[in-house]
A and B are shown apart, each in its own frame.
Chain A
Amino acid sequence: MIEIKNISKRFGKLPVLHKVNLECKKGECIALIGPNGCGKTTLIKSILGMVLPDEGEILFNGRGIKDDFAYRSQIGYMPQIGRYPENMSIRQVVEMIKNIRQHKTGYDEILLNQFLLPQIHDKRMSTLSGGTRQKVSASLAFLFNPDVLILDEPTAGLDPLAAELLKDKILSEMGNGKLVLITSHQLSELDELITQVIFMQDGNVIFHKPIEALRIETGEDKISKAIANILKKQAA
């Protein structure tokens, strides 16, 4: 579904991505993990066309995304830090995005309603807490029933109840054969969701493995321990 071929990116002198190659298929739930500043968000933004790679190409359903924009109608993106026009209310933001996208088939407002956002929809974005903003971001990502979900640190800042609701939603979407790409530091929260792990460090992909292979290889059940195990082996 998404193929990343040899992409590199520098911000000025700083190399952020170095010849990254990846392939993501339908029905997978991929955890993109790695230390801070390893290029996870840059990789995600490259897929979205918000960051333009210096080299290499990204294919979405077999077609290059360079100079294309329509493919983004099949992606729901939840940013790490949702930035919204501060003087707009929640309802205005949702209505505006609906208006601009002119989506033909129905909206998926399950998460929007579960997060009880309609009750506070006249609040301005500037008055919202970080967690509520995250809820708005998550609701918007799922709103148009996209084939691909890209969630950057989805559970950071969410209360346990909301995080649980979001996890259930991700699980049910995976059941519908969608591709889900998640970055997170809270590995324990991901255990029940993910099928694949991509580990990045300093702009390089260290490994990309199915979770089962990882468990067998390391003999650990928890993802966090399995990864720690691999890293130790590499250091040795």
Chain B
Amino acid sequence: MATLKVPLTPEDHVQGDPNAELTLLEYGDYECPHCGRAHPIVKRVQQHFGPRLRFVFRNFPLTQIHSHAQIAAEAAEFAATHGRFWEMHDLIYENQDRLGLPLLVALAGQLGLDPQALRDSLSAGEFEPRVRRDFMGGVRSGVNGTPTFFVNDERHDGPWELEDLVAALEARRALAD
């Protein structure tokens, strides 16, 4: 059973109560269609558990097969430095079929971020090391494709429909009790 090798750090993007008893962590790629399909499922898992669950997203772009995955990840990191990570994250997945530089720039504008600053950041590769760090941490933890979920510290293998993730999280809760 693969386990998470890189513990949560303050650098991570965490949604929900930082002290929640349950953690769902996703290694994802913004251009991956499976991740796109997982996005609303994760939302429903979050609704199901409410404050008992925190959700963490880390970047795992497969840049050789998804030509926009890297800039999308960097754009989300850019938004994060302005406190808008999750809005950007959601908007990218909600508009995944139009993913590309024009979309990312438009989304930045929509969030009140400076589109030119985003362009400059992407050209300079400002967040490239950070995205690569996420990626290599995922490799170390046995991430083998996207999306890969971890329930607390353990990799969740197999299907990730709503009922699968809920069951896996419930099982962890039962263990903790």
A and B associate in one complex: no
